[in-house]
Amino acid sequence: MSNDRYPRIRASEITPEEVWLSRRDWMKTAGIAMASGALGGLPALGLAASPPALAALAAKRSAQYVVMDPSTPEKDATTYNNYYEFGMDKADPSNYAHTLKTSPWTVKIEGEVVAPKTFDIDALRKLAPLEERVYRMRCVEGWSMVIPWVGYSLSELLKQVQPTGNAKYVQFVSDVQPNNMPGLGARSIDWPYVEGLRLDEAMHPLTMLTMGMYGKVLPNQNGAPVRLVVPWKYGFKSAKSIVAIRFVEKQPASSWMKSIPSEYGFYSNVNPEVSHPRWSQATERRIGEDGLFAPKRKTLMFNGYGNEVASLYQGMDLRKNF
């Protein structure tokens, strides 16, 4: 896709963490009613008067994948998001994503596989028993949440298509809806949004194909109807509204790798010892804990999932392979 049509974002155009947080707190305190189009120069699609009620998505609580930290309030987790197809501000997804069309929906599994398949969203929800897993989630900008996700290990889906011996990586492609996604015209990335994992990362039991949160189907702003959740890479590897999953032989370049290669590498682990050029990964601020004035927490290596995933990177220099 032409770079002239979708110019790449400059580092100076991405709002620092402190500005994001202070802007959010200030707007809540002041009680400002955000008019349509006022955020980031988005077109006047109109704000949703009230979000539609989300259907329940029953799932058994996982006995293995549950952190003991209190869950982030649902309101915070659904109104403070990154979903750049709907704008660069944290409030943009919840304000504009009501335009996302999520039905009908299919996901193609293709590439280096013996049996390529296409699943609709109902089939995906029935493919394996749904679990509720409470994961620690830390975003690259330095904020974190604890979210009860509903889904199952991505491996349950991937093994359905029988990867060939040439399959080394898995690529994820998000949907593009030009009439429904006001952020597509912004100075961000080449659309569609593309993400990638090494095959063993994708097949790891912690990696989730996710179709719900807080006991309900995913809200549009959180990546409905199906998204990727990788808890030790959250914020780096969070493909939303997935329409295609491809097994490939060569390492795929993610959208952010193409856009800002000096800042986003392929592995992109949560690593307190490796700073992002514009943010430290050493600490984080938990959303829902007194906003800007909450004390920062020390970030855990691999977001606290080191016992499960450190072996994936044995012998690798994680400063070089960031």
Domain ranges of the chain: 11-313
CB of 78 closer than 8 Å to CB of 94: yes
Q: List the structure tokens of 137.
A: 């989630």
Peptide bond connecting 93 to the previous residue in cis, omega within 30 degrees of 0: no
What is the per-residue pLDDT for 279? 81
What is the per-residue pLDDT for 46? 42
How far apart are alpha carbons 82 and 57 in whole angstroms?
23
What is the per-residue pLDDT for 47? 44
Please give the CATH number for the structural domain made up of 11-313.
3.90.420.10
Q: List the structure tokens of 80.
A: 């403070």
Residue with tokens 């808890």: 231
CB of 12 closer than 8 Å to CB of 274: no
Helical spans, DSSP H, in 163-215: 199-202
CB of 175 closer than 8 Å to CB of 243: yes
What is each CA distance from 15 to 23, 110, 141, 279, 295, in whole angstroms?
A: 10, 37, 9, 11, 21
CB of 19 closer than 8 Å to CB of 26: no
What is the per-residue pLDDT for 17? 44
Which residues partner with 137 through β-bridges? Answer: 145
Strand order in the sheet with 106-111: 117-120, 106-111, 242-248, 169-174, 194-198
Per-residue confidence of the chain (322 residues) as pLDDT tens digits?
333 333 343 443 444 444 434 434 433 333 333 333 333 444 434 444 456 789 999 999 999 999 999 999 999 999 999 999 999 999 999 999 999 999 999 999 999 999 999 999 999 999 999 999 999 999 888 899 999 999 999 999 999 999 999 999 999 999 999 999 999 987 668 899 999 999 999 999 999 999 999 999 999 999 999 999 999 998 889 999 999 999 999 999 999 899 888 888 899 899 999 887 888 889 999 998 876 677 889 999 999 999 999 999 999 999 888 8
Which residues partner with 145 through β-bridges? Answer: 137
* Residue 60: CB atoms within 10 Å: 10
* Residue 241: CB atoms within 10 Å: 28
User: In angstroms, what is the C-alpha Rg of the chain?
Assistant: 19
What is the per-residue pLDDT for 273? 92
